[in-house]
């Protein structure tokens, strides 16, 4: 896990049968579950990624600056491109490749359109939230 990351309450990061790597300034919000698959492999999450509440991330790759919405599910071997957005509640099927700077949503997830400037800038806010929380806790 890189510098200035935050993993919030009731989130699970379980790399029991393959590794999980997380870049810098990434936030994993409440109730999210990050896991791996023995035969498919690791989970790699880049820097400046936001993973929303109750998202499920499973044996996949999330590139830098992506935003994964609340309750979204990413299945094995999918790749989320740099700066892409996966909408809340979306189901990204196994082996799906989401190009950089696109919004995908639905069940199963399909392309909605391009991202807009500033859409994925949430990671910096969570760095500040984590600092404030740690300050309040006296750490």
Residue 95: give the domain boundaries: 6-136
87 domain residue, yes or no = yes
Q: In this predicted model, what pLDDT tens digit does every residue of 103-138 receive, in sequence order?
A: 999 999 999 999 998 887 778 888 888 888 888 887
Alpha carbon distance 86, 98 (integer Å): 9
Residues 98, 43, 94: CA angle, nearest 5 degrees: 45
Identify any residues that bridge with 98 across adjacent strands, giving them in sequence order: 80
Q: How far apart are CA 32 and CA 19, in angstroms?
A: 17
Domain contains 22: yes
Which residue did the predictor score with more confidence, 39 or 74? 74
Look at residue 17 and tell me if it is in a domain.
Answer: yes
For residue 1, being part of any structural domain is answered with no
Q: How confident is the model at residue 10 (pLDDT cuts 50, 70, 90)?
A: very high
pTM for this prediction: 0.94
DSSP class of residue 4 equals T
Which pLDDT score, from 0 to 100, does residue 134 have? 84
What's the pLDDT tens digit per position in 66-112?
999 999 999 999 999 999 999 999 999 999 999 999 999 999 999 99
Sheet strands (E) in the chain: 6-7, 12-13, 20-22, 27-28, 33-35, 43-45, 50-51, 56-58, 61-62, 67-68, 73-74, 79-80, 85-86, 91-92, 97-98, 102-105, 110-114
**The pLDDT of residue 83:** 97
Number of structural domains (the chain) is 1
Q: What is the pLDDT of residue 138?
A: 79
- CATH number, position 71: 2.160.10.10
Structure tokens, 28: 């994993």
């Amino acid at each position: 896990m890189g510098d200035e990351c935050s993993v919030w309450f009731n989130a699970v990061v379980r790399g029991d049968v393959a590794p999980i790597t997380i870049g810098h300034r990434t936030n994993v919000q409440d109730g999210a579950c990050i896991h791996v698959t023995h035969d498919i492999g690791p989970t790699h999450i880049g820097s400046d990624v936001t993973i929303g509440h109750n998202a499920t991330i499973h044996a996949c790759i999330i590139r830098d600056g992506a935003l994964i919405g609340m309750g979204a599910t990413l299945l094995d071997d999918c790749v989320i491109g740099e700066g892409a957005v996966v909408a809340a509640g979306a189901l990204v099927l196994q082996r799906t490749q989401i190009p950089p700077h696109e919004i995908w949503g639905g069940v199963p997830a399909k392309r909605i359109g391009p991202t807009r400037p500033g859409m994925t800038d949430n990671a910096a806010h969570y760095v500040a939230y984590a600092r404030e929380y740690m300050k309040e806790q006296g750490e």
